Structure 1
Amino acid sequence: MQTLCILNVNLEKSENLERHRTDGFSNSEELVVRRGAPIRVSLQLEGRAFNTKTDYLRVQVMLGRLYVLMPVTYSKRICPTRWKAYIDQEDFDLKNPSIFISSPASASVGSYRLKISVLIRGSKKKTCVFGKFILLCNPWCRADGVYIPFEDQREEYIQNDSGLLFIGTAMNPASRPWSFDQFEPGVLEACLKLLELSPQHQKDTRIDYLNRKNPVYIGRVVSAMINSEDDRGVLKGKWEGDFKQGVNPSLWTGSGDILTQWAESGFSPVKFGQCWVFAAVMCTVMRVLGIPCRVITNYNSAHDTNDNLVIEEFYSETGQKLNRSKDSIWNFHVWVECWMTRRDLGSGMDGWQVLDPTPQERSGGVFCCGPAPVKAIKDRRIDLVFDIPFVYAEVNADIHSIILSKGRVVSHNKDTERVGSLICTKTIGSPRQQTITGNYKYVKSPTPTTSSRSFTASEDSTLSRAGSSTGMLVFLYLDKAPVAGEPVRFNVKIVNTQRAAKRIKVHLNAQAKEYNNSPSDTFWETHGVTELAPMEVVVLQEQILPAQYEDVVGDNLINLAVVLEDMASQQRVLASEEINITSPQLTIKIASENSIVPGETQSATVTFTNPFSHMVAGVLTLAGAGLIQGKIHFRMLPLHPRASMNHRFTFVPSKVGTKMLQASLTLSNINSTIRGFKMVSVNRA
C-alpha cells in the first residue's frame, strides 16, 4: 500500500491576515492572527490521496511548555472557550487538504508553535510538519474580553497608527502629532519581547502564559514594563536637569524609534521619557496586542502624595509662587484608557479603564497604575482595584492657595474646581479634541476656554467666598489665547465689595515653569497702588512683550499671579493662572495630493514663518510611517524676524491608507520646537 505523509504546510498568510484584520503586520516573518477566529492552513501531501475512512489528522498548538492536542474533525461547530480543528467537507481536496484551527476567545496572547500530524489507522507510523503564529486579542469577536462594538472605534483604537497628544493648559489646549508605528518593522517583536522580559514571566513562565488570556493582567504587566524603574522596561523618566545622555522627551515624534532602540540595545532603557511619551508608547503596545487603547490628557492633574485630597500651593506676598510642598499640580498629565470587560469586578465596571505607565507611585510594590475603571473613578468606588483612589485624586483634589509673609500665613483660599478641569482625547476619525470630563466626574459648569478659571467662578464657589471675606475680589483673565511673537495681554478685574473706599497695593508676577514643576525665578513683574470708591469695579490692562518672555519661556508655560493688599487692613487676596503660548505651525503642502500611490515619488513643501523678535536657526526633521523610511534632517539657515522659509522635499509612500506626515523644527537659540503635520491618503495603484 502506498504511503502517505505530509510534505509541507502553507499557513495561507495573505488570506489569514485579511481574515483577521492583521494585514498591517504583513512584514512579520510569522503569521499574525487574532483569537476567537479560525485560521486556514493548507497541507501538501505526498504519496497516495487522503482517505477519510483510514487516515486522520491531529493538531498540537504550543505556547512555551503549555500545549493543546486535538483531533481534526469534520464538524464545523466551534466552542468559544476551547481550541478546535476541523475540515470543511464542502471544499476538501484529498491531495492538498485544508484544515481550520480555531482558538478560544480567551486564548493567551503570545507566539505559538504549531504541529500537524497525519496518522493511519492500524499503523504506528506518522509524519508531521511544524509552523508558527502569533496570537493577539480580538476586539472584533463578541466573546473576547476586549470586544468593542463599533467599527469606527476599532479602526481608531486598534488600527490607526497615528494620532494627536494634547498638552498645554485647559485654557489653551495644544496638540502635538504622534506616530504610534504599530505596523513598523520590529515593533511587534519588541512588544512580544516586553511580555517575555516582565518579572512575571521571568519568575514563572507557565503562570504568566496562563494569565495572558486576561487583558486586565496584560494591562498591569505593560504598565509596569513601559517604565524601567523595577525591571528591564522600555523608558527611563527624567524631569529635571539636562538630557545630554539621551533624547529630550519633547523631541520624540513616535513610538517606533523608542521600541526599536530598546530592542537593538539589548533591552536597556531608552533615555528619556515624560508622561506623554510613556503613555504614547503604551498605547502602541496595547494596540499591537489587540487591546483597544487611546491616549488621555487630564489638565491640572493633582499628584496627592499624602492621600488627603488637598494640594497646597504657596505664594509670596508679591505673587511669586514658592516651592514649599511635596504635592503638586501638573498643568497636564497624560495616561491611557484601554477597553475591556472586568469580570473580576462585575459588568458595571466594563468599558474604559485607566492605565498609567508614568512612574509616580507604587501599586502592589511596583511602579504601575491600573486598570482602574473610569466608571469607578467617577463614583469614587475606592473599595475596588486597581489604584482608584490615586486616579480619583488626580481629577478631584482641592487646591489650597496660601500667601506667606515673613513665614506667616496671611491669606488662605480654596479652589474646588481647577483640578481635572478638562479631560480629553482625540476624536474618532478626526484631528480634533474630544472632551470626556463628564466620564470622570460630575461636571458643574462648562470648562473655561480663553477666560480664566477664577474669572468664571460661580458666586457660590469657594474661591469667590474666600475673596468676599476680605472685602475685595480679584479676577485675572486673558484677552485671547497667547500666540508666539505677540504680546501676552491680560486684564485684572478688581472689585470693592464694601461700602467704604479702599487703597490697594497691586502686585503682578510672571514666572516660567515646566508643566510638572514649580516655577523658576520671576522674569516679569510690576507693582502699583490703585484706589477704589465704595463698591467700585476697576479693570487694569497689562501686557508682557515678546522680548520679555521669548528667551525664558520657549516650550515652557507661564505662571501669572496677582496679589491685592488692602493697605488699611493688610488683608490679601490672590488670583493666578498658568498659561501657555501657542507656537506657530509648520505648514506642509503636497504637490499632487489626490494621486498618491505606493512606490511613486511625491513632492512636498514645508513652510515656516519666524514670529519671534530675533533671528532663529535650527534643524528641520521630517518623518512619516509608511511614507518616509527613517527620518530626514535638514539644517535651517538663520531666519530674520517675520521672514519665511520654504523647504521642498520628496518622499516615496510604501503603504496604502491614511498616513501622517510630520515635520518638526528644533530651534537652536530658543528652547522651542515648532511642529506641523499633514494627513496623507495613499491609494491603491
Structure 2
Amino acid sequence: MEDLLIQHVNLEKYENQERHKTEGFRSSKALVVRRGAPFRVSLQLEGRPFNPRTDSLRVKIMLGRLYAMMPVTFSKRVSSSSWNAYMDPADLNLHKPSIFIYPPASASVGFYRFQLWVPSRGGQQKTAFGKFILLFNPWCREDSVYIPFEDQREEYVQNDSGLLFVGTPVNTASRPWSFDQYEPGVLEACLNLLQVSPQHQNNRVVDYLNRTSPIYISRIVSAMINSEDDHGVLKGNWSSDFKQGVHPSMWTGSGDILRQWAQTAYRPVKYGQCWVFAAVMCTVMRVLGIPCRVVTNFNSAHDTNANLVIEEYYSETGQKLSRNKDSIWNFHVWVECWMNRKDLGFGKDGWQVLDPTPQERSGGVFCCGPASVKAIKDQRIDLVYDIPFVYAAVNADVHKFIVSQGQVVSHSKDTERVGSLICTKAVGFPRLQNITGDYKHIKSPTSTLTSRSSTMSEDSTVRRASSSEGVLVFLTLDKAPLAGKPVSFTVKVTNRQSVAKMMKVHINAQAKEYNHSPSDTFWEIHSTLELAPKEVKVLHQQILPAQYEDVVGDNLINLAVVLEDMANQERFLASEEFNITSPQLAIQVSNESNIVPHKEQTATVTFTNPFSHMVSGVLTVAGAGLIPGKINFRMLPLQPGGRVLQPITFIPNMAGTKMLQASLSLTNINTTITGFEMVFVNKV
C-alpha cells in the first residue's frame, strides 16, 4: 500500500475563531483559539484516501521547548486535563479528513507550533503544518477564569471600548477609551509582553509551565505595564513637563501605546498616569482572555507608613500645605480581573485588584495584586497579594490639622472621605456602576451616578463640616461646577453658644493635580463675621470663570474655609476638593439605524466654546473597528459662545457595537474636551 501523503493542511481559521469567540482577531495571521475547547484542522490528502483501519496519525504540540505527543483517536471522549487529538467517526471524510485538537482548560497560554506525524514504510515521517495562539477561556467552566454570565463575558472580554471615570465623587466625569484589542499588531504586542518579561528571560521553561495560572500571568502584566523594573510599556510622569513625550491626557486608546512600544524594540512609551496604566493593562488582560474591567477609587489613600491614617495640614488662612509623604489622590484608577483563588481558601474567588501604576514594590518589583476584593472587604490583610495596601487605599482615616507658627492649633478626623465612591462602567451601558459595597461595609447605599450628568451625593456635606461645642461650620457647593460658569458655594456658620462671637473668616482656593498637593493660592477672601448668641449665618460666594480658567484647566480646586474665634483663637476648618466639568463634544451619526460593514458613513462633531475668551486647538477622532488610526483636524480660533461643526466619514470593518470618540486638545487652556457616541454596526 502506498504511503499516506498530506498535500495541504487547512486551519479552518474562520470556523474555529467564530466558535472560540476570537473572530475579532482576524487581522492576526495565526489561528487564535481558547483552551478547554477543541479546534478543527482539515487535511487535503495526495493520492489515496485515509483508511481508518490501517492508517494512524500522531500530533506533536510545542510551546518553546515543552511539547506533548498524542495519537489521533476515533473517540470524542477526551480527558479534560490533558492534550487530546481525535477524528469524529460520525463525520469522517476519507478524502479530506478532519482532526480535532483539544487543549486542556489548564494549558499554558502562548504561541504554539504543532506537527502532524504519519507513518511511512521507511519509518516515521513528520509534517510540520501549523501554528496557533492559545488564550484563556472564560466560556469554559473548567477554566480558572470562567465567568458565568454571557453579558459579562461580552463586556469584560470582548468589548473593545469603555469609559474611565475621573474627577471627584461629587462631580464625576467620564473619559472614553478605546481598548483596541482587535486592532492590527495589538495581539502580537500583548504576547510579546510575556516574552519580554524578566520571568521569561530568566527561565523560559519555568515561565511556560507557570502560564497555566491567571494569578501568575496577572502579576507579570501588572509589572510589565510600567517600566520601572523591566522593558515595560509605559513610563510614568507626574510632573508638569511632558516635552519628551505625550501628555497622558492626550491618549485615547491602548493601540497606539502598545504598537509604539513593540515597534521601538520595547522602549518605554512616554508618558502614562494611573488611568493610562490601568486602561492598557485592561487591554492586555482582555486579549489574553482574562475578564477585566477598569475601576476608579475616588479619594484614594496612599498610606506610606501602613498606619491607616492620612494626615493633611492647612495654614491658619486655609492654604493646604505639603507636609508629609502620605497623600490622597482625588481619584486613582486600577483594574479588576476575574479568576479563581484556590490559593486563598474558600470564598475569595471573583474580582481581584491589580494596579500597574508604580507606587509600591510587591515581591521586589513595582506591581500590585491580584488582591481579592472579597478579602479586602473582610479585612483579611494576612493574605496575598498586597491586600493591606489596597485596604488602606479605600479605608484610611483622614486627620486634618491647622498649623500656626509651627504649632498645631486645631485637629479634626474624617472617617468617611477615603474610598467614598468606587465605580466602574456598567455592563452593556455607557454609565457608571457604583461598586463601593464590594470593597467595604457602607452605612447606607449611595445612589448610582450616571456618566452623562453630575450628581451631588446626599451625604457630601458631612465631609465638609467642622464643629466644636462653640461653632459649627459647613462648606457646600451649590451645584456641580461647570466650565464657563461661576463656582457657587455656601459657608454656613452656627454659633452654638449663648454668647456673641466675633470671627475671622479666611476662604482660600488652590489649583491641584489629582495626585498632588495644591499649588499656590489663586483666589482668596478674608473678612470678619459677627455672630449673635445661637445665630446661624450663611455666606454666599462665587469664583468667576475669569478667575479660575487660566489656572485650573484639567486640574481640580482645593477650597477651604478657616474660622478663628477672635476671643480665644480657637479655629475651625471645612474643606472640599472638586473638579470643574468640561462640556462634552456632541457627536451626531447620520442614518444610524442602517450602518453596515464596509460602507461609508458620516457623522458630525460639534463644539460650543463655553469659556470667557477665544480658544483654538486640535480635534482628534478615532474609533476601533470604524476608523483606521486617527483623524486630526485643526480648529481655528473660536470666540466665546462660538460653535463649530466638523463633518467626518468612517467605514466600519466589522459588525457589533463600536465607540466613535472625539477629543479636543485646546492650545491656550490646559484642557482636553472629549465626547463619544456608541455606533451599532448591523450584520450584512
Give the TM-score range, shorter chain: over 0.9
Quote the residue 2:86 is aligned against: 86
**Aligned partner letter, 1:2:** E
Deviation at 1:114, TM superposition (A): 0.7
Q: 1:11 aligned to 2:11? A: yes
Paired residues for 1:419-458 under 5 Å: 419-447=418-446, 449-450=455-456, 455-456=461-462
Match of 2:451 in 1: none
Please state how far the C-alpha of 1:650 moved relative to its aligned partner. 1.4
The Cα shift of 1:380 comes to 1.0
Query: In 1, are the aligned partners of 2:14 and 2:23 still within 8 Å (CA)?
Result: yes
| Partner secondary structure for residue 276 of structure 2 | helix
Q: Which residue identity is paired with 1:654?
A: N
Can you list the C-alpha shifts for 1:223-247, whole angstroms capped at 9, x where unaligned?
A: 0000000000000000013101000
Q: Deviation of residue 265 (structure 1)?
A: 0.7
Amino acid at match of 2:18: E
AA aligned to 1:243 is: F
Tell me which residue corresponds to 1:303.
Answer: 302
Q: Secondary structure at the match of 1:318?
A: coil
Structure 2: distance between partners of 1:209 and 1:51: 37
The CA distance in 2 between the partners of 1:96 and 1:452, in whole Å, is 69
Cα contact 2:235–2:271 (8 A) shared by 1: yes
The 5 A counterparts of 1:159-170 are 159-170=158-169
Q: Structure 1: any 5+ residue segments left out of the alignment? A: 458-462
What is the rounded CA distance, in whole Å, between the counterparts of 1:597 and 1:24 in structure 2? 16
Distance 1:52 1:663 in 2: 59
- 1:386 partner SS: coil
Matches of residues 96-495 of structure 1 in structure 2 within 5 Å? 96-119=96-119, 124-447=123-446, 449-450=455-456, 455-456=461-462, 467-469=467-469, 471-495=470-494
Secondary structure of the corresponding residue to residue 56 of structure 1? coil
Counterpart secondary structure, 2:252:
coil
Q: Is the partner of 1:344 in helix, strand or coil?
A: helix
- Runs of 4+ residues over 4 Å off in structure 1: 446-449, 451-454
Answer whether contact 2:35 2:134 (CA < 8 A) is retained: yes
- 2:64 — aligned with what? 64
CA separation in 1, counterparts of 2:223 and 2:168?
28
Q: Which moved more, 1:292-301 or 1:2-11?
A: 2-11
Tell whether the 8 Å contact from 2:320 to 2:518 is kept in structure 1 after alignment: yes
State the Cα distance separating 1:123 from its structure 2 match.
5.7
Contact 2:446/2:457 (8 A) holds in 1: no
Query: Counterpart of 2:597?
Result: 598
- Structure 2 counterparts to residues 501-520 of structure 1, below 5 A: 501-520=500-519
Query: Structure 1 CA distance, aligned partners of 2:73 and 2:488?
Result: 76
Return the offset for 1:2. Answer: 2.2
TM-score, structure 1 normalization:
0.97
**Partner AA of 2:561 in structure 1:** V
Partner of residue 452, structure 2: none
Alpha-carbon offset, residue 326 of structure 1: 0.6
Matched ranges for 1:545-564 at <5 A: 545-564=544-563
Q: Secondary structure at the match of 2:36?
A: coil
Cα separation, 2, equivalents of 1:69 and 1:327 = 56
Structure 1 residue 129: Cα displacement:
3.2
2:660–2:678 Cα contact (<8 Å) kept: yes
SS of corresponding position for 2:578: strand
Secondary structure, aligned partner of 1:455: helix
Q: Tell me the distance in 2 between the aligned counterparts of 1:531 and 1:357.
A: 52
**1:460 — aligned with what?**
none
| Count of residues in Structure 1 that have an aligned counterpart in Structure 2 | 677
Structure 1 residue identity aligned to 2:139: W
Quick one: which amino acid aligns to residue 649 of structure 2?
T
In structure 2, the partner of 1:95 is 95
Q: What is the CA–CA distance in structure 2 between the aligned matches of 1:566 and 1:195, rounded to whole Å?
A: 62
Q: Is the 8 A contact 1:400 1:414 kept in 2?
A: yes
Counterpart secondary structure, 2:659: strand
Query: Residue deviations 1:173-229, cap 9 Å, x none?
Result: 110100000000000000000000000000000000000000000000000000000
How far has the Cα of 1:48 moved from its partner?
1.8
Q: Structure 1: which amino acid aligns with 2:144? A: G
Cα distance, 1:176–1:434 mapped onto 2, change above 3 Å: same
8 Å CA contact retained: 1:486, 1:546: yes
Deviations 1:549-606 (A, max 9, x none): 0000001000000001011110001010001011011101112111111222111111
- How much has 1:445 moved relative to structure 2? 3.3
The 2-side partners of 1:125 and 1:161 are apart by 46
Deviation of 1:453 after TM superposition, in Å, equals 5.8
Contact kept in structure 2, 1:303 and 1:327, CA below 8 Å:
yes
> How far apart, in 2, do the equivalents of 1:13 and 1:593 lie?
31
3-state SS in 1 of match to 2:244 = coil
CA distance in 1, matches of 2:125, 2:211: 33
SS at match of 1:552: coil
Structure 1 residue 451: Cα displacement: 5.8
Partners of 1:412 and 1:671 lie apart in 2 by: 35
Q: Secondary structure at the match of 2:662?
A: strand
For 1:371 and 1:599, locate their aligned partners in 2 and report how far apart those are by CA, in whole Å: 41
Aligned residue identity for 2:51 = N
For residue 6 of structure 1, report the CA deviation from its aligned partner: 1.6
Name the % identity: 72
1:45-56 matches, within 5 Å, as 45-56=45-56
By how many angstroms is 1:125 displaced? 4.3
Query: 1: CA distance between counterparts of 2:337 and 2:124?
Result: 49
SS in 2 for 1:259: helix
- After TM superposition, give the deviation of residue 3 of structure 1 in Å: 2.3
- Contact 2:117/2:124, CA 8 A, preserved across alignment: no
Say whether the 8 Å CA contact 2:115–2:126 is kept in structure 1. Answer: no
5 Å-filtered alignment, 1:517-556, equals: 517-556=516-555
Q: Which residue in the other structure is 1:22 paired with?
A: 22
1:391-441 CA-to-partner distances (Å, cap 9, x unmatched) read: 000000010100000111000111011000000000000000000000000
Give the Cα separation in 1 of the matches to 2:128 and 2:311. 67
Shift of 1:479: 1.0
Moved more, 342-351 or 394-403: 342-351
Deviations 1:266-312 (A, max 9, x none): 11000000000000000000000000000000000000011111111
Q: Is the 8 A contact 2:111 2:133 kept in 1?
A: yes
3-state secondary structure, aligned to 1:538: strand
8 Å CA contact 1:341–1:347 kept in 2: the answer is: no
- Secondary structure of the residue aligned to 2:241 is coil
CA apart distance, 1:47: 2.3
- Separation of aligned partners in 1, 2:36 and 2:11: 17
- Pairwise CA RMSD of aligned residues? 1.3
Query: Is the contact made by 1:6 and 1:127 (CA closer than 8 Å) also made in structure 2?
Result: no
Structure-1 separation of matches of 2:438 and 2:508: 36
Cα distance in 2 between the residues matched to 1:602 and 1:53: 57
Q: TM-score, normalised by structure 2?
A: 0.97
Amino acid at match of 2:462: T
Give the 3-state SS of the residue equivalent to 1:152 in structure 2.
helix
In 2, Cα distance between equivalents of 1:200 and 1:9: 35
Q: Provide the C-alpha distance between the structure 2 equivalents of 1:10 and 1:492, rounded to a whole number of angstroms.
A: 74
Letter in 2 for 1:54: T
